[in-house]
Amino acid sequence: MPEGVTIHPLFKSARQVVDCASTMPPIVRRPLPPYKDMLLVAGVVLILFGIGNWVTGALQTQPPAEYLRSHPGPGLRSRNLKAELLEAPDNERQQRDVARAKLEFYQLVQSGGRFMVLLGCLCLLGGWAVRKVSTYPNLLPSNRP
């Protein structure tokens, strides 16, 4: 026996430890139930939140878009940004600016919802793939024969 190695008091020798280890049944990896698999749970949650954001964004972009279509505002006399900024603010211009800001915000919410749905689908696909693979390949090179 190598120096510095101690044997548990229940075993009489190192041979008994090896015999005990060889008679143990192999460890069987049982898959987790679906509600405990974090990839599946994250995928479902992301899809649900993503659908909610997508629908909210789609519904909330309609009123500002209709307002901007019905109130296009005066055509710019010049392409100069300074000239546009120096125009006297009127009530309709402020309403158009608010409608444009709402439209851009809800378009961002809608595209975020699409991204969350895509990410949730990828998580579900990854969780499904992990559940289908029973043994994992050894991808690390080893010097053992």
Any domain includes 7: no
Number of domains in the chain: 1
Any domain includes 16: no
Average pLDDT, the chain: 80
What pLDDT shows up at residue 13? Answer: 57
Q: Which domain holds residue 101?
A: 32-132
Any domain includes 49: yes
Any domain includes 12: no
Any domain includes 19: no
Question: Is residue 113 over pLDDT 70?
Answer: yes
Q: Which pLDDT tens digit goes with each residue over 25-72?
A: 666 666 678 788 899 999 999 999 999 999 999 999 999 999 999 988
Task: State both tokens at 145.
Answer: 């024969």
26 in Cβ contact with 79 (< 8 Å):
no
Any residues with CB less than 8 A from the CB of 117 and at least 6 apart, and which?
46, 47, 50, 51, 54
Question: Is residue 78 over pLDDT 70?
Answer: no
Any domain includes 3: no
How many helices (H) and strands (E) the chain has is answered by 5, 0
- Total-model pTM: 0.64
